[in-house]
Structure 1
Amino acid sequence: MPGTRITFLDGQAGQPQALERVIAHVRRQLDGPVGDRLRHVRRPLLAGIGASYAALALPVEVLRRHGVPAQRVLASEIEAGLGGFDTDLLIGVSQSGRSSETIAAFRAARGVPTLAVLNVTPSSLGALAGLTVDLGNEPDSCASTVGFTGTVIALDLIAGLIAGREGDAWDGVPDQAHAVRTRAAHTIAALRARAARCVAVDCVGSGASRVTAEEAALLLREVPRMPAAASVTRNYLHGEMESAGNTLHLVFGCGREIALARSLSAAGHLTLLVTTARVKASENLAVVRLPDTAPGARVVLETVVTQELVAALSDERNVPIESIVFINDDTKEGGVVVADFEHSAPVAAL
C-alpha cells in the first residue's frame, strides 16, 4: 500500500503539526505491550537502507551512551541471514514498508525477534514483523520530509525504552521546528546564490549529528542534484577536507566542529555552521543557532535547516524539487507504484 504523497514544500510547511501527531501516536503505541517487550531487549541490531539507514545512527548513539551494545547495518548486508551477529532483536526501518532489502533481511532473520518501524501501514515489512511501530500514515514527500523527521522521533523513543531512559525531550520540539525554519530561511537567503554555484558539498558532524550529515548528503543529491558526501568530524580532519575548493561546507555540531567551520571559512570556503553554541558569523561563515536540547530533538532541528537549504538550492539551480532522474524498479517490493511519483517529473527508469 503506497502512502499519500505531498510536495516537498508542503511537507516543510506542515511539518510542525505532523510532528505533534507523530509524537503522540508513537508514545501511545509504546505505552503498552510493544513497550513492555522493548524494555527486555539487550542486544539490538538495527537495519535500513538510504535515509532509513542514516536515521539509525541516532538510536545507536543513544543506546551506546546508556551502556547498551548496539550497531546499525545496511539491510542489504544481511539479506542472506544474521550470521556473525549476536542480537536479540532485529529492528528494521522502512518508511514505506516496501524497501526490498529490508524485507529480504526480515525474511532471512529466522529465529530472531523482529520490530518494524514504518510510516505506511499496512505494508509488506509490517506483515513480516513480530512487532511494529508506525508513524500514523503521515503524508510525505518523495524526497522525505515528515517521514524522515518522524522516523527520528520514533527511533529515539524506542531507544529510550530499551536503554531505560526516564522520559523524553520531545515536548515543544514542533514549535521549535517552526522557529528554526524561519531563522534558517533568513540565513540561507544570503548565501544561496553563491552556494548554488559550488561544485560539491561536504556534510560533517559527529555523535547524533552523523544522522543529519548523512541525510543532508542524500537530500543534496536528490533535490538540487549536487554532489555531496557525509563525513564524521574527526575523520574529516584526517585528509578528507583537503579537497576543499569552490565547495560548500555544511557543518553540524558544537564541539570540534566550531574550529573546523572557522578554519574552512578563514581559508575562503563557504561554510554553514548549524550549532547550539553562540558563534559569530563572519566572512564565508554563516551560522544557524539551535536551541540547546537533547540529541534526538537536535537532529530533527538540524534536518529542518537542511530541508530549507536544499529547497533554496533547488530553486536557485532551477531544478524542480519533485523531479526524479532515476526510478529503480527493484528497490521497492512490487516495483514502481505510480502514485509514489504523482508530484514528480521522472526522467529515466532502470
Structure 2
Amino acid sequence: MSYRSTIARQPESIAACLAAAQAEVATLDLEGLASGQIAVTGIGASFAAATVIAGELMRRGRRAVAMRSVDLIDAKDAADAIIALSHRGRSVETVDSLKAQATAAKLAITNDGASPLAQVADRHIRLDNGSDATPSSTGYTGTLAAAAVLAERLCGATATDWQGLPGTVSETLARAQEKMPRLGKLFKDRRAIDCVGACSSFGTADGASLLIREAARIPAAATDTRHYLHGPMEAMDDRTGVVVFGDGREVELARQLNKIGCPALLVTANPDVEDEGLLTVIQVPAQENRIVRGIIDILSAQLLASELSDAAGLTDTKFRYPQTDTKLKPTTAS
C-alpha cells in the first residue's frame, strides 16, 4: 500500500486501534504500573512516540521518561515499569531492553501478540492499525492511540472525545492538504529542514524529522523549542526550512524565521496567527491530552513529507540501506 493511501486511511485505523485498545486495557492487570517511575522506550519512530507518551504521563503527575532502549540494556533497575513500543514487535534493541530489566513491570504495544517483544513483556496491547507503509503512518498514530487509552487507565479520564477523534483526524487531514501546494513551493529544494517543539511536541518534531529523512531524503533534525533559541536556529536561512509545533513561544519563533527569509510551517492551536510571507500556518484543534495532540499534529508532517517525496521523484521508494541486524524474525505468519 502506498504512503499517501495509508495517511488517508488513518481515521479508520485510529478508530480500530481505539476500539481494540479499550477492550484490551479494560482487562489488563496494571498494578505493576500503578506507581513508581515509568520508562517509555522504542527505536526510530517508536522512540518519537515514546517522547510524546512520556510527556502526557508527566503532565498527569506520573514520574515518566522516554528512555533509549540501548540505555535500558546497559542500566540496572533503571525504572519500576517499562512501556515498550514497536509496531511489529521485532526491534532487536527494544526486545533486549526488556530482557535486561528483570525487576520492572513490562507492557508492550505491538500489532502482534506472538511477536518477540510481546513474548518478553508481562502485558500486551494489540494494535489494530491494518496495513502500513514506509515511512510509517498508521503504525505511528495507532501506537499513540493505544497509549492514550492506557494513559487514561493509569491516570484517570481526560476530556478527550474518543468517539469524535477519527472525525477530527479526517478534518485535520483535509485542512492540512489545502496548504500542501503552497508548502510544496516554499519548501522546494531545501538543503536541510529543522523540526521544533516542546515537551510532547518535541517527540512530534522528532517523528516529523524522521518522516522527512525517510520519504524525501532531506537532512532533518528535531530540537526542543527553547534549546533552538540558544544557537541552533542560527544555521537557518533562505535555503533551509523549519517545521514548528506549538501554541506559545513557537508562534514568535515561526514569525522570526519568516523575517529572516526562512520558510516555516507552524502547526498550532493558536487562532491569532495566519499565513504571511514565507510562513504557512495549519490550525489544529486544542487538546488537553498531549498524546491526542501528537496524533493530530503529526498529520501535517506526514503530508509534507509525502509532498517533498513526490517533488524529489521518490514516491514510495524503498530504503536504500537495508540492515540485517535490527529486526528479529517473526514468530508467526504475520
Q: TM-score, normalised by structure 1?
A: 0.89
- 1:210-249 matched pairs, under 5 angstroms: 210-245=202-237, 246-249=239-242
Give the aligned partner of residue 170 of structure 1: 162
For 2:36 and 2:154, the matched residues in 1 are separated by 7
| 2:268/2:281 contact within 8 Å kept | yes
Structure 1 residue 168: Cα displacement: 4.1
Counterpart of 2:56 (choices 62, 65, 69) is 62
Distance 1:137 1:288, change over 3 A: closer
Counterpart of 2:187 (choices 195, 200, 203) is 195
The number of aligned residues is: 330
Give the AA of the match of 2:50: L
Give the aligned partner of residue 304 of structure 1: 299
Give the aligned partner of residue 333 of structure 1: 328
Give the AA of the match of 1:205: G
For 1:66 and 1:230, the matched residues in 2 are separated by 24
Give the AA of the match of 1:258: V
Give the AA of the match of 2:259: A
Give the aligned partner of residue 42 of structure 1: 36
Distance 1:182 1:166, change over 3 A: closer
Q: Which moved more, 1:309-318 or 1:135-144?
A: 135-144
SS class of match (1:56): helix
Deviations 1:241-286 (A, max 9, x none): 0001211110111000000000000111101111011212110111
Structure 1 residue 39: Cα displacement: 6.2
Deviations 1:147-189 (A, max 9, x none): 0001111122222322234564433121111111111111121
Name structure 2 gaps, 5 residues minimum.
Answer: none
| 1:160/1:168 contact within 8 Å kept | no
Give the AA of the match of 2:315: P
Are 1:16 and 2:11 matched, yes or no? yes
For 2:323 and 2:220, the matched residues in 1 are separated by 21
Counterpart of 1:75 (choices 50, 57, 69) is 69
Distance 1:118 1:27, change over 3 A: same
For 1:243 and 1:137, the matched residues in 2 are separated by 39
For 1:137 and 1:254, the matched residues in 2 are separated by 29
Name structure 1 gaps, 5 residues minimum.
Answer: 1-5, 341-350
| 2:118/2:124 contact within 8 Å kept | yes
SS class of match (2:90): coil
For 2:93 and 2:162, the matched residues in 1 are separated by 31
Give the AA of the match of 1:30: V
| 1:44/1:88 contact within 8 Å kept | yes
SS class of match (2:253): helix
For 1:42 and 1:167, the matched residues in 2 are separated by 25
Structure 1 residue 33: Cα displacement: 2.8
| 1:258/1:273 contact within 8 Å kept | yes
For 2:159 and 2:208, the matched residues in 1 are separated by 29
Q: Which moved more, 1:111-120 or 1:209-218?
A: 111-120
For 2:111 and 2:125, the matched residues in 1 are separated by 8
Deviations 1:271-304 (A, max 9, x none): 1111011212110111100112232222111111
Structure 1 residue 38: Cα displacement: 6.0
SS class of match (1:274): strand
For 1:120 and 1:157, the matched residues in 2 are separated by 18
For 1:33 and 1:203, the matched residues in 2 are separated by 36
Identical-pair percentage: 31
SS class of match (1:196): coil
Are 1:319 and 2:314 matched, yes or no? yes
| 1:139/1:146 contact within 8 Å kept | yes
Structure 1 residue 211: Cα displacement: 1.8
For 2:318 and 2:34, the matched residues in 1 are separated by 44
Structure 1 residue 140: Cα displacement: 1.3
Are 1:136 and 2:159 matched, yes or no? no
SS class of match (1:138): coil
Are 1:255 and 2:254 matched, yes or no? no
RMSD across aligned positions (CA) = 2.0
Structure 1 residue 21: Cα displacement: 0.7
SS class of match (1:272): strand
Give the aligned partner of residue 276 of structure 1: 269
